[in-house]
Amino acid sequence: MVMPNTVGIRATKHSIVRYLFALVAVTLLLVPLGVEGRVYLGIASFLGAVFFGWGCYGLRDASGTRWARSLFAVSIIYLVLLFGALVLGCRS
């Protein structure tokens, strides 16, 4: 809870969305680098869009701690499924 106390809740939400964008972009970089293929790209693109969309949903003024906690839960699900996609991509 440090960042909301120092820069405000609105700025914190915008930082979250910026970091989500960077995270999704980095996970998709595995394809042009030749580490993963089309199966991974499809799964990672879908998961990234859902995760990023959920983050953008939190930019509303009405979202609060409930959204933040749900974003944490979504992030755990996102990472587990993304690592699963990595395993599937390695087998293809």
pLDDT digits over 17-44, tens only?
999 999 999 999 999 998 899 999 999 9
CA dihedral 4, 10, 11, 12 (to 10 degrees): 50
When divided into structural domains, the chain yields a total of: 1
b (16+ CB within 10 A) / e for 26-54: ebeebbeeeebeeebbebbeebbeebbeb
Domain residues for the domain of 53 are: 2-91
Contact predicate 88/39, CB 8 Å: yes
The predicted model scores a pTM of 0.86
For residues 8 and 71, give the distance between their C-alpha atoms in angstroms, rounded to a whole number.
18
